Amino acid sequence: MAKIFCVANQKGGVGKTTTTVNLAAGLAKIGQRVLMVDLDPQGNATMGSGVDKRNLAVSVYEVLVDSVPVREAAQLAEKCGYHVVGANRELAGAEIELVQLPQREMRLKNALAKVDGDYDFVLIDCPPSLSMLTLNGLCAAHGVIVPMQCEYFALEGVTDLVHTIKQVHANLNPDLQIIGLLRVMFDPRTTLQQQVSDQLKSHFGDKVFSTVIPRNVRLAEAPSYGLPGVVFDPLAKGSQAFIAFAQEMVERVQSMNKTARTQATKTKKSVKTASNG
C-alpha cells in the first residue's frame, strides 16, 4: 500500500518543490517505488524532474477533470528513478472546472486508489494557496510535510495551515495528519534562525523532523539542469541532507504503520470483549 504525502505551505518560495523532487529522488535512491504528482500549474516539479511540461501527452489536469487513469499519465523520469504525473498551465483552468464536477475534492484520491499497489510513496507538490487543487491533495493524503524557513513570520503562516489541515481532517479526510515540519534553507550561523528553530521545537515537539536542510547553492542550481539536487550533485551538503530526510521518512512511515496495527488490534479486542459481554 502506498503512503501518500502532500508537500504543502500556502506561502510561495518556501521550498515545497525543492523538497518534493529531492525527497522523491532520495527515496528512489534508497530503493523505494515513488510517484511524484505535480499539482502546481507552474509545473516546476515536472521540469525539475527532467520532464518537459510543454509536451505532456497526459497531465494531471486530465487525471483530475477527465478521470484519465494515473497509469496513463505517469511517466518515468529516467535519471531520477521515480514516476511523474506532470502539470502545466492547463491545470490553472481545473480550479474552476472542478467546482462543477461530482466529488470535486476527492478526484485525486479516487485516481490514486487505482495505483495503490504500484508505489511505496506518492508525493504531491502543492501550489502556494489553499485552493481546490490543494484540497484535492489534502484529501488524497495520509499526511502533510510542511517545509518552512526559520524566519520571523514563519510560525504565523503555519498556524493558518494547521487550521486548514484540522478542518480537512474533521470534514473530509480523517486519515490526514501533519507528519512533520521540515526546516529548510537553514543557516545555522543566523541567530534568528536558531531562535525560530528552537521555538518550533518547543511548540511542535517531535512533529519537527530531526533532519535540517541547509541553504545550499547546488540545490538551487539543479532545476536548471532538469534534475533534483540529489541526482545533480549527490555529494553536496543539501543533497546529503535530503537523502537523510528520505531515510527519516521511511522510519516515520514504519512507525505510522506500527501505530495503525496496534490501534487495529486494540479495536478488534474491544469489539470481541463487547460481543462476549
Q: DSSP code of 133?
A: H
Q: Sort strands 82-85 and 75-77 into parallel, antiparallel or unpaired.
A: antiparallel
CB of 138 to ligand ADP, least distance (A): 16
* CA–CA separation, 239 and 235 (whole Å): 6
Q: Binding residue for ligand ADP (CB under 6 A) from 2, 8, 18, 180?
A: 18
CB of 83 to Mg ion, least distance (A): 19
For 51-65, give one letter per residue: b (16+ CB within 10 A) or e. Answer: bebeebebbbbbbbb
Residues sharing a CB contact under 8 Å with residue 51, sequence separation 6 or more, in sequence order? 75, 77, 84, 86, 226
Residue 73 binding result from ligand ADP, Mg ion, none, given CB thresholds of 5 to 8 Å by partner type: none
44 is a site residue for ligand ADP (CB under 6 A): yes
With residue 76 as reference, give the H or E element that holds it. Answer: strand 75-77
16 is a site residue for Mg ion (CB under 5 A): yes
Neighbours of 220 (CB within 10 A): 13
Q: Binding residue for Mg ion (CB under 5 A) from 9, 10, 17, 211?
A: 17
Binders in 227-266 for ligand ADP, by CB under 6 A: 238
Rank residues 17 and 239 by Cβ distance to Mg ion and give the closer one.
Answer: 17
Residue 157 binding result from ligand ADP, Mg ion, none, given CB thresholds of 5 to 8 Å by partner type: none
With residue 28 as reference, give the H or E element that holds it. Answer: helix 16-29
Binding mask 119-148 for ligand ADP (x = CB under 6 A): ---------x--------------------
145 near 5, Cβ under 8 Å?
yes
Q: DSSP code of 215?
A: P
Residue 13 binding result from ligand ADP, Mg ion, none, given CB thresholds of 5 to 8 Å by partner type: ligand ADP
CB of 126 to ligand ADP, least distance (A): 9
Rank residues 111 and 126 by Cβ distance to ligand ADP and give the closer one.
Answer: 126
Residue 248: all three cell numbers together: 527519516
Q: DSSP code of 102?
A: T
Q: DSSP code of 63?
A: H
How many chain residues are in contact with Mg ion, going by CB under 5 A?
Answer: 3
User: Can you say whether the dihedral through the CA atoms of 110, 112, 117, 121 is positive or negative?
Assistant: negative
Residue 21: all three cell numbers together: 523532487
Residue 185 binding result from Mg ion, ligand ADP, none, given CB thresholds of 5 to 8 Å by partner type: ligand ADP
CB of 258 to Mg ion, least distance (A): 32
211 is a site residue for ligand ADP (CB under 6 A): no
Neighbours of 110 (CB within 10 A): 15
CB of 222 to ligand ADP, least distance (A): 8
Residues that bind Mg ion (CB under 5 A): 16-17, 44
- Interacting residues toward ligand ADP by CB under 6 A: 12-18, 44, 128, 184-185, 213, 215-216, 219-220, 223, 238
